[in-house]
Amino acid sequence: MARLYTNENSPFPVAEELRRLGHDVLTLQDTGRGGQAVPDELVLAFASTEHRVLVTLNRKDFKRLHLTHPEHFGIVLCTYDPDFLGQASRIDASLSQQSSLAGQILRVNRPGP
């Protein structure tokens, strides 16, 4: 199972379901930094320091950070999906297909109509 870090815009029910599925999930709120508008660069740096894959809905900014700072433990870029359990299941399934995400981006999109 993966060591994950969710930033502030990632829905908490997704983190809870990922935990239930066996992943080690730390949220930005767990670190006591919720509501502090932590810059994205520091979010990614913290995830890397903790050897965690970052899970976020902030696709544009973290894709840019990936290009300028590729030395991370992985980034999962998600589209918003109100089906939080389904989103967590898709993240879990995508992670299970990877041996390592170090320096990589994994995209997990909500299913189309």
The string of pLDDT tens digits covering residues 47-75 is: 999 999 999 999 999 999 999 989 999 99
Q: How many CB atoms lie within 10 A of CB 82?
A: 9
Tokens representing residue 32 in the block: 């006591």
Alpha helix segments (H runs only) across the chain: 12-20, 40-49, 59-68, 84-96
* pTM of the predicted protein model: 0.93
Residues 27, 21 contacting (CB under 8 angstroms) = no
Residue type (1 letter), 41: E
Q: Sorting pLDDT into bands at 50, 70 and 90, what band is 32? A: confident
Q: Sorting pLDDT into bands at 50, 70 and 90, what band is 99? A: confident
Report the pLDDT value the prediction gives residue 44, as an integer from 0 to 100.
95
Say which CATH topology domain 3-108 has.
Answer: Rossmann fold (3.40.50)
Q: What average pLDDT score do residues 7-15 get?
A: 94
**What residue segments make up the domains of the chain, in order of their start?**
3-108
